Structure 1
Amino acid sequence: MALPSTYAEPNCSLARALEVVGERWTLLIVRDAFFGVRRFGDFATQLKIPRAVLTSRLKSLVQEGVFRRDENGGVVEYRLTDRGVALWPAIRALLHWGDESYSPDGVKRALRHDADNGLIDEENHCRSCGGLVPVPDIRIEPGPGYQPPTGELDPVSAQIGRPRLLLEPITVGRGPRAAED
Protein backbone atom coordinates (compact mmCIF):
# COMPACT_ATOMS: atom_id res chain seq x y z
CA MET A 1 0.00 0.00 0.00
CA ALA A 2 1.42 3.39 -1.00
CA LEU A 3 1.95 6.11 1.55
CA PRO A 4 -0.27 9.15 1.22
CA SER A 5 1.39 12.25 -0.24
CA THR A 6 0.52 14.29 2.86
CA TYR A 7 0.40 13.20 6.47
CA ALA A 8 -2.69 13.81 8.57
CA GLU A 9 -0.92 14.10 11.94
CA PRO A 10 -0.59 17.85 12.63
CA ASN A 11 1.35 17.38 15.86
CA CYS A 12 4.26 15.41 14.45
CA SER A 13 7.28 17.38 13.29
CA LEU A 14 8.74 14.27 11.65
CA ALA A 15 5.64 13.86 9.50
CA ARG A 16 5.89 17.51 8.41
CA ALA A 17 9.61 17.14 7.66
CA LEU A 18 8.87 14.04 5.58
CA GLU A 19 6.46 16.09 3.48
CA VAL A 20 9.46 18.21 2.48
CA VAL A 21 12.29 15.65 2.18
CA GLY A 22 10.59 12.26 2.33
CA GLU A 23 9.89 11.64 -1.33
CA ARG A 24 12.14 9.36 -3.32
CA TRP A 25 15.21 11.20 -4.68
CA THR A 26 14.84 14.28 -2.48
CA LEU A 27 17.53 13.47 0.09
CA LEU A 28 19.89 12.42 -2.71
CA ILE A 29 19.37 15.81 -4.36
CA VAL A 30 20.10 17.52 -1.04
CA ARG A 31 23.16 15.29 -0.49
CA ASP A 32 24.51 16.20 -3.92
CA ALA A 33 23.98 19.89 -3.18
CA PHE A 34 26.24 19.45 -0.14
CA PHE A 35 28.74 17.78 -2.49
CA GLY A 36 28.70 20.91 -4.67
CA VAL A 37 26.19 20.09 -7.40
CA ARG A 38 24.22 23.19 -8.34
CA ARG A 39 23.01 22.89 -11.93
CA PHE A 40 19.94 21.02 -13.11
CA GLY A 41 21.85 19.05 -15.73
CA ASP A 42 24.53 18.08 -13.21
CA PHE A 43 21.92 16.74 -10.77
CA ALA A 44 20.35 14.79 -13.65
CA THR A 45 23.71 13.39 -14.77
CA GLN A 46 24.92 12.48 -11.30
CA LEU A 47 21.71 10.91 -10.04
CA LYS A 48 20.39 9.53 -13.33
CA ILE A 49 17.01 10.82 -12.21
CA PRO A 50 14.15 11.39 -14.66
CA ARG A 51 14.14 15.08 -15.63
CA ALA A 52 10.44 15.53 -14.82
CA VAL A 53 11.00 14.13 -11.31
CA LEU A 54 14.04 16.36 -10.80
CA THR A 55 12.08 19.41 -11.93
CA SER A 56 9.30 18.59 -9.47
CA ARG A 57 11.66 17.98 -6.55
CA LEU A 58 13.71 21.14 -7.18
CA LYS A 59 10.57 23.28 -7.42
CA SER A 60 9.30 21.80 -4.17
CA LEU A 61 12.63 22.34 -2.40
CA VAL A 62 12.69 25.96 -3.57
CA GLN A 63 9.09 26.49 -2.39
CA GLU A 64 9.97 25.02 1.01
CA GLY A 65 13.02 27.27 1.36
CA VAL A 66 15.57 24.43 1.29
CA PHE A 67 17.10 25.71 -1.97
CA ARG A 68 17.16 29.06 -3.65
CA ARG A 69 17.13 29.27 -7.42
CA ASP A 70 19.67 31.74 -8.79
CA GLU A 71 19.83 32.76 -12.42
CA ASN A 72 22.80 34.66 -13.77
CA GLY A 73 23.36 35.20 -17.48
CA GLY A 74 21.09 32.34 -18.45
CA VAL A 75 22.74 29.88 -16.03
CA VAL A 76 20.45 28.54 -13.31
CA GLU A 77 21.92 27.24 -10.07
CA TYR A 78 20.22 25.71 -7.06
CA ARG A 79 21.94 26.56 -3.80
CA LEU A 80 21.21 25.37 -0.30
CA THR A 81 19.75 28.07 1.91
CA ASP A 82 20.49 28.28 5.63
CA ARG A 83 17.40 26.12 6.09
CA GLY A 84 18.86 23.59 3.66
CA VAL A 85 22.28 23.60 5.35
CA ALA A 86 20.45 22.90 8.61
CA LEU A 87 19.65 19.47 7.13
CA TRP A 88 23.33 18.50 7.39
CA PRO A 89 22.97 16.67 10.75
CA ALA A 90 20.24 14.47 9.23
CA ILE A 91 22.27 13.80 6.08
CA ARG A 92 25.36 13.15 8.21
CA ALA A 93 23.46 10.74 10.47
CA LEU A 94 22.14 8.80 7.47
CA LEU A 95 25.61 8.62 5.91
CA HIS A 96 27.01 7.32 9.20
CA TRP A 97 24.19 4.82 9.60
CA GLY A 98 24.70 3.59 6.03
CA ASP A 99 28.43 3.18 6.58
CA GLU A 100 27.93 1.35 9.88
CA SER A 101 25.22 -0.90 8.47
CA TYR A 102 26.41 -1.62 4.94
CA SER A 103 30.11 -0.85 4.56
CA PRO A 104 32.23 -3.57 6.21
CA ASP A 105 35.43 -2.10 4.70
CA GLY A 106 34.95 1.29 6.40
CA VAL A 107 33.37 4.62 5.55
CA LYS A 108 32.66 5.31 1.89
CA ARG A 109 33.51 8.97 2.30
CA ALA A 110 35.63 10.34 5.10
CA LEU A 111 34.88 13.76 6.54
CA ARG A 112 37.77 15.90 7.74
CA HIS A 113 38.15 19.29 9.35
CA ASP A 114 39.86 21.24 6.60
CA ALA A 115 41.73 23.44 9.09
CA ASP A 116 43.65 20.64 10.82
CA ASN A 117 42.93 17.50 8.77
CA GLY A 118 41.23 15.88 11.77
CA LEU A 119 38.59 13.24 11.13
CA ILE A 120 35.07 14.33 11.99
CA ASP A 121 32.96 12.06 14.17
CA GLU A 122 29.30 11.22 13.68
CA GLU A 123 28.29 14.28 15.71
CA ASN A 124 30.39 16.65 13.57
CA HIS A 125 33.20 17.16 16.09
CA CYS A 126 36.81 17.17 14.95
CA ARG A 127 38.77 14.35 16.55
CA SER A 128 41.92 16.48 16.39
CA CYS A 129 40.85 19.82 17.88
CA GLY A 130 37.54 18.74 19.44
CA GLY A 131 35.60 21.61 17.88
CA LEU A 132 32.19 21.44 16.28
CA VAL A 133 32.97 21.86 12.58
CA PRO A 134 30.72 24.11 10.48
CA VAL A 135 29.62 22.65 7.14
CA PRO A 136 31.78 24.95 4.94
CA ASP A 137 34.90 23.76 6.83
CA ILE A 138 34.27 20.05 6.16
CA ARG A 139 36.36 18.32 3.52
CA ILE A 140 34.96 15.11 2.07
CA GLU A 141 37.25 12.52 0.53
CA PRO A 142 37.19 8.86 -0.42
CA GLY A 143 37.35 6.67 2.68
CA PRO A 144 38.62 3.10 3.13
CA GLY A 145 35.27 1.64 1.99
CA TYR A 146 35.11 3.76 -1.17
CA GLN A 147 35.00 1.71 -4.35
CA PRO A 148 36.08 3.74 -7.37
CA PRO A 149 33.60 3.41 -10.23
CA THR A 150 34.71 1.41 -13.21
CA GLY A 151 34.68 2.82 -16.70
CA GLU A 152 34.71 6.40 -17.84
CA LEU A 153 33.24 8.89 -15.38
CA ASP A 154 31.14 11.89 -16.26
CA PRO A 155 32.81 15.16 -15.16
CA VAL A 156 30.43 15.69 -12.22
CA SER A 157 31.07 12.23 -10.76
CA ALA A 158 34.80 12.68 -11.25
CA GLN A 159 34.80 15.88 -9.18
CA ILE A 160 32.56 14.44 -6.47
CA GLY A 161 34.98 11.51 -6.12
CA ARG A 162 37.95 13.81 -5.33
CA PRO A 163 38.68 15.44 -1.98
CA ARG A 164 36.74 18.71 -1.79
CA LEU A 165 35.04 21.05 0.64
CA LEU A 166 31.32 20.57 1.19
CA LEU A 167 29.27 23.23 -0.61
CA GLU A 168 32.19 23.99 -2.97
CA PRO A 169 30.54 24.34 -6.38
CA ILE A 170 31.17 21.71 -9.02
CA THR A 171 32.75 23.22 -12.11
CA VAL A 172 33.21 21.11 -15.18
CA GLY A 173 34.86 23.62 -17.53
CA ARG A 174 31.93 24.50 -19.72
CA GLY A 175 30.45 27.74 -20.88
CA PRO A 176 27.03 29.12 -19.95
CA ARG A 177 24.13 26.80 -20.54
CA ALA A 178 20.52 27.49 -21.26
CA ALA A 179 18.38 27.92 -18.16
CA GLU A 180 16.57 24.78 -17.11
CA ASP A 181 13.87 24.24 -14.54
Structure 2
Amino acid sequence: MRWDDIDKQVCSVARALSVVGERWTMLILRDAFFGTRRFEHFQRNLGITRHRLSERLSKLVEQGVLVKVPYHDRPLRYEYRLTRKGLGLYPVLMSLACWGDEWMDRGEGAPLEWVHHTCGAATTPVLTCSECGEALRPEEVRPRLGPALRDAGEPVDGAPLSDIPALLKRPV
Protein backbone atom coordinates (compact mmCIF):
# COMPACT_ATOMS: atom_id res chain seq x y z
CA MET A 1 0.00 0.00 0.00
CA ARG A 2 1.27 3.48 -0.89
CA TRP A 3 1.58 6.17 1.80
CA ASP A 4 -0.94 8.31 -0.10
CA ASP A 5 -3.55 5.57 0.40
CA ILE A 6 -3.03 5.11 4.14
CA ASP A 7 -6.24 7.01 4.93
CA LYS A 8 -8.22 4.24 3.23
CA GLN A 9 -7.35 1.68 5.91
CA VAL A 10 -9.84 0.81 8.61
CA CYS A 11 -7.15 1.65 11.23
CA SER A 12 -7.66 4.85 13.25
CA VAL A 13 -3.90 5.31 13.70
CA ALA A 14 -3.30 5.08 9.94
CA ARG A 15 -6.12 7.53 9.24
CA ALA A 16 -4.78 10.00 11.80
CA LEU A 17 -1.27 9.71 10.38
CA SER A 18 -2.61 10.54 6.93
CA VAL A 19 -3.34 14.00 8.36
CA VAL A 20 -0.60 14.58 10.97
CA GLY A 21 2.07 11.99 10.14
CA GLU A 22 4.51 14.33 8.43
CA ARG A 23 7.17 15.74 10.78
CA TRP A 24 6.65 19.41 9.90
CA THR A 25 2.93 19.05 10.55
CA MET A 26 3.39 18.22 14.22
CA LEU A 27 5.74 21.18 14.68
CA ILE A 28 3.23 23.48 12.98
CA LEU A 29 0.55 22.20 15.35
CA ARG A 30 2.87 22.63 18.35
CA ASP A 31 3.40 26.26 17.38
CA ALA A 32 -0.33 26.75 16.80
CA PHE A 33 -0.97 25.58 20.37
CA PHE A 34 1.64 28.10 21.54
CA GLY A 35 -0.35 30.84 19.81
CA THR A 36 1.34 31.17 16.43
CA ARG A 37 -1.23 32.12 13.79
CA ARG A 38 0.44 33.89 10.90
CA PHE A 39 2.31 32.33 7.99
CA GLU A 40 5.44 34.44 8.44
CA HIS A 41 5.60 33.60 12.15
CA PHE A 42 5.34 29.86 11.47
CA GLN A 43 8.07 30.21 8.87
CA ARG A 44 10.35 32.23 11.14
CA ASN A 45 9.82 29.93 14.14
CA LEU A 46 10.32 26.69 12.23
CA GLY A 47 12.79 27.63 9.50
CA ILE A 48 10.64 25.74 7.00
CA THR A 49 10.53 26.71 3.31
CA ARG A 50 7.56 28.79 2.16
CA HIS A 51 6.52 26.09 -0.29
CA ARG A 52 6.52 23.28 2.29
CA LEU A 53 4.77 25.43 4.90
CA SER A 54 2.10 26.40 2.40
CA GLU A 55 1.53 22.72 1.54
CA ARG A 56 1.25 21.67 5.18
CA LEU A 57 -1.03 24.54 6.18
CA SER A 58 -3.27 23.89 3.16
CA LYS A 59 -3.60 20.23 4.10
CA LEU A 60 -4.45 21.07 7.71
CA VAL A 61 -7.11 23.52 6.50
CA GLU A 62 -8.45 20.98 3.98
CA GLN A 63 -8.70 18.37 6.75
CA GLY A 64 -10.48 20.78 9.11
CA VAL A 65 -7.67 20.91 11.69
CA LEU A 66 -7.01 24.63 11.06
CA VAL A 67 -9.22 27.34 9.63
CA LYS A 68 -8.01 30.35 7.62
CA VAL A 69 -9.34 33.64 8.99
CA PRO A 70 -8.67 36.99 7.28
CA TYR A 71 -6.90 39.51 9.50
CA HIS A 72 -6.04 42.20 6.92
CA ASP A 73 -7.93 43.43 3.85
CA ARG A 74 -5.34 45.21 1.70
CA PRO A 75 -3.51 43.12 0.86
CA LEU A 76 -5.69 40.20 1.92
CA ARG A 77 -3.85 38.25 4.62
CA TYR A 78 -4.92 35.25 6.65
CA GLU A 79 -4.07 33.71 9.96
CA TYR A 80 -4.53 30.07 10.91
CA ARG A 81 -6.54 29.05 13.94
CA LEU A 82 -7.11 25.65 15.50
CA THR A 83 -10.59 24.22 15.05
CA ARG A 84 -12.31 21.88 17.53
CA LYS A 85 -10.81 19.03 15.48
CA GLY A 86 -7.38 20.65 15.83
CA LEU A 87 -7.83 21.20 19.56
CA GLY A 88 -8.57 17.48 19.80
CA LEU A 89 -4.89 16.86 18.99
CA TYR A 90 -3.83 18.46 22.30
CA PRO A 91 -3.49 15.12 24.14
CA VAL A 92 -1.39 13.75 21.27
CA LEU A 93 1.06 16.66 21.46
CA MET A 94 1.19 16.52 25.27
CA SER A 95 1.88 12.78 25.19
CA LEU A 96 4.59 13.27 22.57
CA ALA A 97 6.18 16.04 24.65
CA CYS A 98 6.14 13.83 27.76
CA TRP A 99 7.75 10.98 25.83
CA GLY A 100 10.42 13.38 24.57
CA ASP A 101 10.99 14.70 28.11
CA GLU A 102 11.53 11.19 29.42
CA TRP A 103 13.48 9.58 26.60
CA MET A 104 15.10 12.35 24.54
CA ASP A 105 16.27 14.94 27.11
CA ARG A 106 20.01 14.17 26.72
CA GLY A 107 20.27 14.22 30.51
CA GLU A 108 19.45 17.94 30.63
CA GLY A 109 15.87 17.66 31.86
CA ALA A 110 12.69 18.81 30.22
CA PRO A 111 12.82 22.05 28.21
CA LEU A 112 9.33 23.08 29.37
CA GLU A 113 7.18 22.46 32.41
CA TRP A 114 3.41 22.26 32.10
CA VAL A 115 1.47 24.26 34.69
CA HIS A 116 -2.17 23.50 35.45
CA HIS A 117 -3.91 26.89 35.75
CA THR A 118 -6.66 25.58 38.06
CA CYS A 119 -4.30 24.49 40.86
CA GLY A 120 -1.10 26.31 39.82
CA ALA A 121 1.05 23.20 40.09
CA ALA A 122 3.53 21.87 37.54
CA THR A 123 2.00 18.71 36.12
CA THR A 124 2.84 15.67 34.07
CA PRO A 125 -0.09 14.65 31.87
CA VAL A 126 -1.20 11.07 32.44
CA LEU A 127 -3.36 8.88 30.22
CA THR A 128 -6.21 7.52 32.35
CA CYS A 129 -9.17 5.19 31.98
CA SER A 130 -12.35 7.12 31.15
CA GLU A 131 -14.36 4.77 33.38
CA CYS A 132 -12.36 4.32 36.60
CA GLY A 133 -9.75 7.10 36.37
CA GLU A 134 -6.83 4.71 36.87
CA ALA A 135 -3.62 5.40 34.93
CA LEU A 136 -3.40 3.29 31.77
CA ARG A 137 -0.33 1.11 31.37
CA PRO A 138 0.34 -0.95 28.21
CA GLU A 139 0.45 -4.23 30.10
CA GLU A 140 -3.04 -3.57 31.51
CA VAL A 141 -4.85 -2.64 28.27
CA ARG A 142 -5.72 -4.88 25.34
CA PRO A 143 -7.45 -4.14 22.05
CA ARG A 144 -10.77 -5.69 21.08
CA LEU A 145 -12.46 -5.43 17.70
CA GLY A 146 -14.67 -2.35 17.47
CA PRO A 147 -17.82 -1.65 15.47
CA ALA A 148 -16.02 -1.02 12.16
CA LEU A 149 -14.53 -4.52 12.14
CA ARG A 150 -17.43 -6.29 13.86
CA ASP A 151 -19.83 -4.84 11.27
CA ALA A 152 -17.51 -6.06 8.51
CA GLY A 153 -18.17 -9.64 9.60
CA GLU A 154 -14.82 -10.16 11.31
CA PRO A 155 -14.75 -12.54 14.29
CA VAL A 156 -15.34 -10.58 17.48
CA ASP A 157 -13.88 -12.92 20.07
CA GLY A 158 -11.00 -15.29 19.76
CA ALA A 159 -9.03 -13.29 17.17
CA PRO A 160 -5.40 -13.44 18.30
CA LEU A 161 -3.75 -10.06 18.87
CA SER A 162 -1.21 -10.92 16.19
CA ASP A 163 -4.05 -10.95 13.60
CA ILE A 164 -5.22 -7.41 14.40
CA PRO A 165 -2.58 -5.50 12.35
CA ALA A 166 -3.61 -7.41 9.21
CA LEU A 167 -7.29 -6.64 9.88
CA LEU A 168 -6.52 -2.94 10.32
CA LYS A 169 -4.49 -2.76 7.12
CA ARG A 170 -7.41 -3.76 4.94
CA PRO A 171 -8.83 -0.97 2.84
CA VAL A 172 -12.39 0.10 3.61
- Shorter-chain TM-score tier: 0.5 to 0.7
Tell me which residue corresponds to 2:45: 46
Tell me which residue corresponds to 2:68: 69
* C-alpha displacement of 1:122: 2.1
- Listed as ranges, the matches of 1:6-45 within 5 Å are 6-7=5-6, 10-45=9-44
TM-score, L = length of structure 2 = 0.66
Which string of whole-angstrom CA distances, capped at 9 and with x for unpartnered residues, describes residues 117-162 of structure 1? 211222289xxxxxxxxxxxxxxxxxxxxxxxxxxxxxxxxxxxxx
Gaps of 5+ in 1: 126-181
**1:120 and 2:119 aligned:** no
1:108 aligned to which of 108, 111, 126 = 111
Measure, in 1, the Cα distance between the counterparts of 2:125 and 2:64: 26
Measure, in 2, the Cα distance between the counterparts of 1:49 and 1:115: 36
Measure, in 2, the Cα distance between the counterparts of 1:93 and 1:72: 32
Q: Identity of paired residues, percent?
A: 41
| SS of match in other structure, 1:71 | strand
TM-align CA RMSD: 1.9
Structure 1 stretches of 4+ with a deviation exceeding 6 A read: none
Measure, in 1, the Cα distance between the counterparts of 2:7 and 2:63: 19
TM-score, L = length of structure 1 = 0.63
* C-alpha displacement of 1:9: 5.5
Tell me which residue corresponds to 1:129: none
* C-alpha displacement of 1:73: 2.4
Measure, in 2, the Cα distance between the counterparts of 1:97 and 1:111: 14
State the structure with more CA Rg.
Answer: 2
* C-alpha displacement of 1:105: 2.5
Letter in 2 for 1:12: C
Letter in 2 for 1:51: R
Gaps of 5+ in 2: 129-172
